[in-house]
Chains A and B, each alone.
Chain A
């Protein structure tokens, strides 16, 4: 970065908010994806939305690649910067601007932490359902840019279902407004919809309008134990077929069960082939009714044991086991590759069989858990990225997982995004025309290609 330009950035955001040393920059060369780091040229931390807009313009005027970063928890490399580019941090833009209890919406800056927002909303007696696994640190801007999911996706949907509006900067630093504070809005193109999941490639978020809902009045959790993975998968399908939509319907395979038990000593049945963790919520009457039906379905489809949580403590215990899954698996080996290929939920039995075959074929350890209710499984490959030979097998296995998922009518990514990690697979799921259309769109909106280049649709 030349001195004159550096001074311009410093003049905009203040010297203390510009990081140029090698060590400072290297700390923004990565995100949570298992990919090689890329060194940015500069890191800036704007302290107001107005300054954010000016930074976007300055980058565009000088043709500098710009990657917006919230907390850098991305699992697909979406926040890995371009070499020599500018990383723009949103974590100083962390104000909740409005929580409107009468009209059930909130307006936030992009750097607000998801869990803090959810807690603030809960304190007002309302509910913001999206709960990605990284919610304790992830930002709402990042959630919208990645269209983050979570455990409640099945019943409550994902981040896109809660985005009412996005105001964003175009590459010239001008504010583009889309959506509104009303439930219904058909004014103009649905640009907010275009922004959701765009991974920072089409605009830079200025503020977000998010939908809130009343919280469920009651909830009931249970754990169903199976001696056969197929029986568990069939149970998932049967629950949905019975017109019951649980808030969460989570799956753990035998390897995950054993690993979690070794780690957390939660009293899980280590000989079980599969576990389903199920929670129904809503009006107390409905909850009691649905819990009973779910229990009956589990039994009729061969669950060997069903444990219904009697109180909050027991309910917490059920979810503790699920929350411990990734931690427990992550401790087994140095490198943890968490995939999120997703299939229509009726195809879960087929997907489970394929994963088992892939693990055997490539001689890899794969623990599978995840959101069975919405078809979003997380096959987790336990490996050591320093072992080159094994890493090649991991890459081949990932290719095959995607092929299988797509063959079953599924998708490359349920909730982690495409970023750098999966952009090469995009055409397999879509078409050449889809990629060209997307690139033309990007070229029109961002002629110099400064907005998070290389993500989703390649370069």
Chain B
């Protein structure tokens, strides 16, 4: 069988999902990229048509289709608003894997995913080194946000205002934990995720503080691997599976009631994408994935739903805080109330809602590197809404959103801090 026939066969397997799209075009109303470009190939309806066209040989250009598929934030706005319930995100992830399998992975991505990301110890060490030298190439630019910019790295990173790697990543201060359940009677496994470990360790510390306060036991194993979404969204199933298995290994050794993460994207990946992509893995791995995924919870949802918090009344003169709803929390998992309850636990802050709080921030992982301009334009709309709310703090339950929003606010010279809801709660304890 030629490779082309194999490609057509694999795309054919998506047919049952593709055929559900009735081309109504309602996704045009919610797609952040289409909102910027107005191009049909950028919206879910167009991408689904292209995949169908490729499968039926009406389109002969797999590279062109792959290029269109990469112009997507994987925010899930289309799927969440689809009248006929087409699972566009599932389709796009699977299609990226199929097309990368056919076309191969770009060398840079291959080097990063297979040489680095899938080797957690090496990855930690290398970024640890980088954290020591990054100061040489960057200079601080906004104290409230804690961002820096870099003339030296401009060819690579553009005009970005960066959040630097923390010199003390979480795993350095807290290499591992295994504490028993306390007053709550509950014990959780803690998966900080790459960003909360390496860039925002303050988020990780805040989570540990809140858990300790509520008498929740913590299992934090060493050598946690990335959740796998960066590799999978580039179509690298091999690295994705390797990362999943590495995590199954380290978490398989603990006993806990729930696995919590402070990262919306990690939560949604482990809860929904792991089982979705498990098919090709061994029956034993599939079983382990099913068991672990069932226990995965967003940390906000865990503390509110499982610990039963009752917020106090806000104090007079409370600091106005607004909430950005990460796509992977609200659209993917339906979690929007809990982060707000977590904020309300600190009476020194008062919630002010922004306009379109659930509109995507435009980050989309590596999308922001490959399509910097579109990403920044979407991000600036978010920034404008944050600014207009009058808040002094924006809270969001996803470190990737925190990165993008920090960049946008910092570039605009805003004095608005970017925090995780757990940080705000932890501050009151």
A residues near B (Cβ < 8 Å) are: 19, 21-24, 26-34, 37, 39, 45, 71-73, 89, 91-92, 113, 115, 134, 136-137, 326-327, 330-331, 334-336, 384-386
Q: How far is the CA of A22 from the CA of B53 in the complex (A)?
A: 11
Q: How far is the CA of A24 from the CA of B65 in the complex (A)?
A: 9
Residue from the set A28, A33, A384 with the largest chain B CB neighbour count within 10 Å: A28
Q: How far is the CA of A335 from the CA of B85 in the complex (A)?
A: 13
Identify which of A24, A39, A331 contacts B41 (C-beta below 8 A): A24
Q: Using an 8 Å CB-CB cutoff, how does the interface string of B152-187 with A read, 1 for contact, 0 for none? A: 000000000000000000000000000000000000
Residues on A with C-beta less than 8 A from B38 are 45, 89, 91-92
Closest to A323 in B: B83
Cβ distance A75 to chain B, nearest Cβ, rounded Å: 9
A30 contacts B49, CB within 8 Å? yes
Q: How far is the CA of A28 from the CA of B49 in the complex (A)?
A: 9
A21-B40 contact, Cβ under 8 Å, with A26-B53, A27-B46, A31-B23:
no
B29 contacts A326, CB within 8 Å? no
Closest to A115 in B: B29
Q: How far is the CA of A113 from the CA of B59 in the complex (A)?
A: 30
Q: How far is the CA of A73 from the CA of B26 in the complex (A)?
A: 8
Identify which of A73, A89, A92, A336 contacts B84 (C-beta below 8 A): A336
CB-CB nearest 4 A-B residue pairs: A23-B64, A330-B84, A27-B46, A327-B83
Cβ distance A15 to chain B, nearest Cβ, rounded Å: 14
Interface residues of B in 1-60 (CB under 8 A from A): 15-16, 19-20, 22-26, 28-29, 38-41, 46, 49-50, 53, 58-60
Cβ distance B298 to chain A, nearest Cβ, rounded Å: 25
Q: How far is the CA of A346 from the CA of B20 in the complex (A)?
A: 36
Cβ distance B83 to chain A, nearest Cβ, rounded Å: 4
10 A-B residue contacts at CB 8 Å? Answer: A21-B64, A23-B50, A23-B59, A30-B49, A37-B49, A45-B39, A92-B38, A137-B25, A327-B83, A330-B84
Q: How far is the CA of A29 from the CA of B67 in the complex (A)?
A: 19
Closest to A332 in B: B84
A32-B23 contact, Cβ under 8 Å, with A26-B49, A27-B50, A71-B28:
yes
Q: How far is the CA of A293 from the CA of B26 in the complex (A)?
A: 38
Q: How far is the CA of A330 from the CA of B19 in the complex (A)?
A: 11
What's the interface size class on B, roughly? 20 to 34
Residues on A with C-beta less than 8 A from B24 are 32, 73, 134
A32 contacts B25, CB within 8 Å? yes
A37 contacts B28, CB within 8 Å? no
B209 sits at the interface (CB 8 A): no
Q: How far is the CA of A22 from the CA of B64 in the complex (A)?
A: 8
Residues on A with C-beta less than 8 A from B39 are 19, 24, 27, 45
B68 sits at the interface (CB 8 A): yes
Cβ distance B149 to chain A, nearest Cβ, rounded Å: 28
Q: How far is the CA of A29 from the CA of B50 in the complex (A)?
A: 10
A26 contacts B50, CB within 8 Å? yes
Q: How far is the CA of A194 from the CA of B27 in the complex (A)?
A: 32
B25 contacts A71, CB within 8 Å? yes
A23 contacts B20, CB within 8 Å? no
Residues on B with C-beta less than 8 A from A330 are 22, 83-85
B427 sits at the interface (CB 8 A): no
Cβ distance A297 to chain B, nearest Cβ, rounded Å: 33
Residues on A with C-beta less than 8 A from B15 are 386
B49 contacts A134, CB within 8 Å? no
A335 contacts B50, CB within 8 Å? no
Q: How far is the CA of A75 from the CA of B29 in the complex (A)?
A: 18
B61 sits at the interface (CB 8 A): yes
B29 contacts A136, CB within 8 Å? yes
Residues on A with C-beta less than 8 A from B28 are 71, 137
A23-B41 contact, Cβ under 8 Å, with A137-B29, A327-B84:
yes
A134 contacts B26, CB within 8 Å? yes
